[in-house]
Amino acid sequence: MKIGTRTFEPDKHCYIMGILNVTPDSFSDGGKWNHLDTAMKHTEQMIAEGADIIDVGGESTRPGYTKLPDQEEIDRVAPVIEAIHSRFDIPISLDTYKSAVAKAGLAEGVDLINDIWGCKYDPEMASVIASSGVACCLMHNRNNTDYTDYLQNVLDDLRESVAIAKRAGVADDRIILDPGIGFAKSYEQNLKLMNHLELLKDLGYPYLLGTSRKSMIGLTLDLPASERVEGTIATSVIGVMKGAGFVRVHDVRENARAIRMTEKILQTL
């Protein structure tokens, strides 16, 4: 899979997507990186620590978040994307579910669109991705938790996202899936999905695991977001063991070391 100028082999190695929230209100690091100089320093740090992709987000999607107007989101992310693109040689992902924001990001050099609604929120998103030729990450999400057969329903929902993308002309080798840990799922359902991540491989696409500092970890360990590094590492290790091709994390260095150790064990016969 080609993302930007780099070739990724997610069936052989788990890559790290470093989170760069340029928001004042993200649940774990709101306000820390929403100035250009601090954003660039943090990007440089994540690259040094082993990030393979930088994921820029301008709207917090924490529980109960307030949707931003398109232009406000664009004003937050566009200068950061342009600066990363001009200063660093690393693929850039844009975390948005809005086609107007995606277009603005693509104009600044984005290599991947990371859509938490899997092309189901904005009817124009799939065609924007297809016409650009960039890769996309389609996450599982829905407006309700009315599951009849939970694990099967999650897989079917992801199949719907893939169908939407492909109808618009997105190629198979441009698609990454995301099980959507923390979205439209109870605490117990998040744990159950974590324990059955291998089912995602049946869909035929690489998948990204995004659990970093999420409430599933906080509820399990009774810890605030700032103290969930070890819990996140545990989920990354499980992800590697169950075939994840990417993990999206805040704490790059710690997760990179854990992934490297896990892969070495799994590759040694």
Residue 192 is predicted with a pLDDT of 98
Distances (CA, A) of 31 to 39, 59, 191: 10, 12, 29
Closest CA to 123 of 155, 157, 168: 168
Written as six digits, the tokens of 127 are 């065609």
Residue 131, token pair as written in the block: 């016409």
Tens digit of each residue's pLDDT (9 = 90 or more) over 168-217: 999 999 999 999 999 999 999 999 999 999 999 999 999 999 999 999 99
What is the pLDDT at residue 28? 52
Confidence at residue 60, expressed as pLDDT on a 0 to 100 scale: 80
Residue 32 DSSP class: S
Q: What is the pLDDT of residue 29?
A: 46
Question: What type of residue sits at position 189?
Answer: Q
70 phi and psi angles, rounded to 5 deg = -55, -45
Cβ contact 109:83 at 8 Å: no
- Residue bearing tokens 């492909």: 166
The answer to whether 51 and 20 are in contact (CB under 8 A) is no
Q: Name the one residue in this structure whose structure tokens are 């189901």.
A: 120
Angle at 61 between CA 183 and CA 192, to 5 degrees: 20
Which parts of the chain are beta strand (E)? 2-3, 6-7, 15-21, 53-57, 92-95, 112-115, 135-139, 175-178, 208-209, 246-249
One digit per residue, the tens of pLDDT, for the chain of length 269 reads 999 999 999 999 999 999 999 987 544 544 454 589 999 999 999 999 999 999 999 998 776 667 899 999 999 999 999 999 999 999 999 999 999 999 999 999 999 999 999 999 999 999 999 999 999 999 999 999 999 999 999 999 999 999 999 999 999 999 999 999 999 999 999 999 999 999 999 999 999 999 999 999 999 999 999 999 999 999 999 999 999 999 999 999 999 999 999 999 999 98
Contacts 24+ apart (CB under 8 A), 105-110: 105/56, 105/74, 105/77, 105/78, 105/81, 106/132, 106/134, 107/78, 108/78, 108/81, 108/82, 109/81, 109/82, 109/84, 109/85, 110/56, 110/81, 110/134
Active site residues: 214, 248
Q: Concatenated DSSP letters for 53-121?
A: EEEEESS--STTPPPPPHHHHHHHHHHHHHHHHHH--S-EEEE-S-HHHHHHHHHTT--EEEETTTTSS
